[in-house]
Chains A and B, each alone.
Chain A
Amino acid sequence: MSGNLPDNGFPDLDRLGAMLRGRETTAADLARTALARLDTIGRDLNALVTLTPERAAAEATAADADFAAGVDRGPLQGIPYGGKDLLAVPGYPTTWGAAPLREQRFERDAAVVERLTNAGAMLAGKLATVEIAGGFGYEQPNAAWTGPGRNPWNPETWAGGSSSGSGAAVAAGLVPFAIGTETWGSITVPAAFCGVTGMRPTYGRVSRRGAMALSWTMDKIGPISRSAADCATVLAVIAGPDPADPSTLHHPSFTPEREPPARVRLAVLRGSANGVQPEVAANFQAALAVLAGFAELTEVDLPSLPFEAAATILFQAEAAAAFEAFVDAGASLALTAPEDRIGMLDRFAIPAVDYLRAQRVRRIAGRALDAMLAPFDGIVAPTQPHVAPPIGQPFRDFFDDAGIPNLGGAGHLSGLPAITVPNGFGAGGLPTGLEIMGRADADARVLAVAEAYQARTDWHRRRPPV
């Protein structure tokens, strides 16, 4: 542990940058700290797949040399991070969380890793994911060859999925930030369960080249960190056009706002706190009271369209196509979760007409949703209706969320940005989250609203006892 860092992990990125530039610490010190914490606490939490000490050391040497030479590559220079093990990194396995892929290797960095390297960041480890990002329909936490992701707030509860390791590693102070991916909830759910801040950018904001494809029209890559400000800092580095991923070519550049507009207008999803755990409802009401201090709140309903049905058909058909060879070869039979071994088969019988109908509904739904959101700077709801479930129990036995209005289906069908911020603690002393979702390309506005919320609360500064 570097002598200038707190015992429970890393401070925020601004402070780390000041320490590096003020010679209070070095990139090599920070890399060693991250590697040591990942190697011990990270393994205990099943958050780590592969430590990357050689790469971290080389990147630390380069960062410290740049500091010495007066070369400044920006706010991530000399900052260690972890990347979800869906991201290709040469020299190390990229397992996608799946036992049959434990020796899979790639020859080129994923685009997001490449961008972070160019910005001077240091990859310290590849972090755990639910096998195949949960794409085979897992129904309980033990669905990765590295074991169930354990929550730093209580290791007998789940860290969430599919970016389990990214959420847990940031919460436990193993790295200052991590990269996650999200097809449907895979950044926001683990971030909420682990009490950290997770940002799902607009679809196409961040290049998917070199990341495992689960759903070509729904996969997103984004940061998990301790605050919205840190998420904005990371997103500014990893966002941008990439000819290798055509989905990235049609967005305005991303520039953090840091301050929301003088008059903030937020929609509140009607009924989203009905039927949730009592503490989740109470924390949501308390968060609304904070938001009301700087925003005008208006209750709304989503347009009456089958968002979830369309998103589910799209996701399922695309995942089946992406993993047809994997299933054909029998590799799926070696997955960890028994339900995953047959979880894809039904999707090969989805007619092409159903897929195309979902794409046609998607166009109508996206326009209806945008018209509804147009007067607002974002829409808010509880990120999840419950706290992290226990390890070793099917999800359906823990909580029934059927019928509770949520932003998931609409947001993912339409590729909209969303952030989750900690907003308190619920059953068992576990964190709860507030989700803020915006219009397409309103990533900066969503982050600014979240920063304004975090300027008035300190939930994001709480740390688990690890």
Chain B
Amino acid sequence: MSQTSGSAGAPIDEPDAPIVAARLAAVLARWGERLDDAGREAVAARIRRDVQLARELRAVPLANGDEPEIVFVPFRAAEDAAQ
């Protein structure tokens, strides 16, 4: 029930319109046949929210050394398993 951002209803800046259109085109290229006009508008509305969320994230200053919270661990099989 809570899987939406509180910013979902925030006004969308006009400059985002080309980005929304480009993302919608990518969705339609893959699944356009599944969407009627109402479905396209519903997807477009969700894309507008996604773009707005990304805008909020870009407002956080990040330095080159600010790594993602992901830890990659090179794999090595246990010695007894490799033998």
Chain B window 1-40, contacts with chain A (Cβ cutoff 8 Å), 1 for yes, 0 for no: 1111111110000000000000110110011001100010
List A168-204 residues whose CB lies under 8 Å from chain B.
Answer: 183-185, 189
Q: Whole-angstrom distance from the CB of B80 to the nearest CB of chain A?
A: 14
Query: Is B74 interfacial (CB 8 A cutoff)?
Result: no
How big is chain A's contact interface, by range? 35 or more
Candidate in A217, A313, A356 with the most chain B CB atoms within 10 angstroms: A313
- Beta-carbon contact of A349 and B35 below 8 Å: no
Q: Complex Cα distance A306/B47, Å? A: 18
Query: Is A417 interfacial (CB 8 A cutoff)?
Result: no
Q: Complex Cα distance A348/B73, Å? A: 27
- Beta-carbon contact of B57 and A354 below 8 Å: yes
Partner of A363, one of B34, B46, B57, B69: B69
Partner of B43, one of A184, A246, A306, A345: A345
- Beta-carbon contact of A342 and B35 below 8 Å: yes
Q: Whole-angstrom distance from the CB of B53 to the nearest CB of chain A?
A: 4
Please judge, given known A-B contacts A345-B43, A346-B43, A408-B2, whether A356 and B50 are in contact too, CB under 8 Å.
Answer: no
Query: Is B58 interfacial (CB 8 A cutoff)?
Result: yes
Candidate in B9, B53, B66, B70 with the most chain A CB atoms within 10 angstroms: B53
Partner of B62, one of A311, A316, A343, A361: A361
- Which B residues lie within 8 Å of A134 (CB)? 1, 3
Chain A window 46-72, contacts with chain B (Cβ cutoff 8 Å), 1 for yes, 0 for no: 000000000000000000000000000
Please judge, given known A-B contacts A333-B34, A360-B62, whether A161 and B57 are in contact too, CB under 8 Å.
Answer: no
Partner of B57, one of A184, A189, A313, A403: A313
Q: Complex Cα distance A341/B54, Å? A: 24
Q: Which residue of B lies closest to A358 (CB)?
A: B57
- Which B residues lie within 8 Å of A350 (CB)? 50, 54
Please judge, given known A-B contacts A137-B3, A403-B6, whether A342 and B50 are in contact too, CB under 8 Å.
Answer: no
Q: Complex Cα distance A134/B3, Å? A: 8
Query: Is A395 interfacial (CB 8 A cutoff)?
Result: yes
Query: Is B60 interfacial (CB 8 A cutoff)?
Result: yes
- Beta-carbon contact of B67 and A363 below 8 Å: yes
Partner of A359, one of B31, B58, B70: B70
Query: Is A444 interfacial (CB 8 A cutoff)?
Result: no
Partner of A357, one of B3, B39, B54: B54
- Beta-carbon contact of A316 and B60 below 8 Å: no
- Beta-carbon contact of A312 and B4 below 8 Å: yes
Q: Whole-angstrom distance from the CB of A337 to the nearest CB of chain B?
A: 12
- Which B residues lie within 8 Å of A341 (CB)? 34
- Which B residues lie within 8 Å of A401 (CB)? 6
- Beta-carbon contact of A310 and B57 below 8 Å: yes
- Which A residues lie within 8 Å of B4 (CB)? 137, 312
- Which A residues lie within 8 Å of B5 (CB)? 308-309, 311-312, 409
Please judge, given known A-B contacts A161-B1, A349-B23, whether A306 and B57 are in contact too, CB under 8 Å.
Answer: yes
Q: Complex Cα distance A395/B35, Å? A: 24
Please judge, given known A-B contacts A184-B3, A366-B69, A409-B5, whether A342 and B57 are in contact too, CB under 8 Å.
Answer: no
Query: Is A305 interfacial (CB 8 A cutoff)?
Result: yes
Partner of A356, one of B39, B58, B68: B68
- Beta-carbon contact of B2 and A360 below 8 Å: no
Q: Could you list 6 further interchain pairs (A-B, Cβ under 8 angstroms) beyond the known A246-B73, A342-B39, A347-B50?
A: A185-B1, A185-B2, A305-B60, A309-B53, A343-B46, A409-B5
Binding site for B on A (CB under 8 A): 134-135, 137, 160-161, 183-185, 189, 217, 246, 305-306, 308-313, 315-316, 327, 333, 339, 341-343, 345-351, 354, 356-364, 366, 395, 401-404, 408-409
Binding site for A on B (CB under 8 A): 1-9, 23-24, 26-27, 30-31, 34-35, 39, 42-43, 46-47, 50, 53-54, 56-60, 62, 66-70, 73
